[in-house]
Copies of this chain bind each other. A is one copy, B any other.
Amino acid sequence: MTAVDGDRPAGRRRRVTSADVARAAGVSRATVSYVLNDVPNRNISQATRELVRSTAKRLGHMPYAPARALRSGRTNLVLALVPGFGIGFLFDKALDALNTALAARGYALLVHHHAEALRSITDLWGLVSPALVVTTGGLSADERAAVEYSEARLVDVDGIVSFPRIGRMQAEYLLSKGHRRLGFAMPGDPHLQVFADSRLSGVRQVCAEAGLPEPVVEVVDFERADVRPAVASWRDRPEPVTAVCAHNDDVALVLMAGLETMGLRAGVDLDVIGVDNVPIAAIGVTTVAIDIDALAGVVVDSVLAELDDRPAPDRDGEFLHLVVRRSA
Chain A interface (Cβ within 8 Å of chain B)?
1-6, 12-13, 15, 60, 62-70, 73, 75-77, 79, 84-86, 88-89, 91-93, 95-96, 99-100, 103-104, 107-113, 115, 118-119, 121-122, 124-129, 144, 146, 148-151, 153-160, 222-225, 250, 253-254, 256-257, 260, 279-280, 282-283, 298, 302, 306, 311-312, 315
Contacts and interface: CB of A to CB of B under 8 A. Distances in A.
A15 B92 contact: no
A65 B110 contact: no
A243 to B, nearest CB: 21
A169 to B, nearest CB: 19
Copies of this chain, whole number: 2
A5 B129 CA distance: 18
A223 to B, nearest CB: 6
Contacts of A3: 155, 302, 306, 311-312
The residue among A122, A128, A149, A302 with the most chain B CB atoms within 10 A of its own CB is A128
Contact of A67 (B64, B66, B96, B257): B66
Q: Which 3 A-B pairs have the closest CB atoms?
A: A86-B92, A63-B126, A66-B69
Given A13-B149, A62-B125, A280-B254, A1 B112 contact: no
Contact of A127 (B77, B96, B104, B112): B77
A312 B111 CA distance: 26
B60 A149 contact: yes
A110 B128 contact: yes
A53 to B, nearest CB: 12
Contacts of A75: 66, 127
The residue among A6, A85, A126, A253 with the most chain B CB atoms within 10 A of its own CB is A85
A148 B73 CA distance: 29
A146 to B, nearest CB: 8
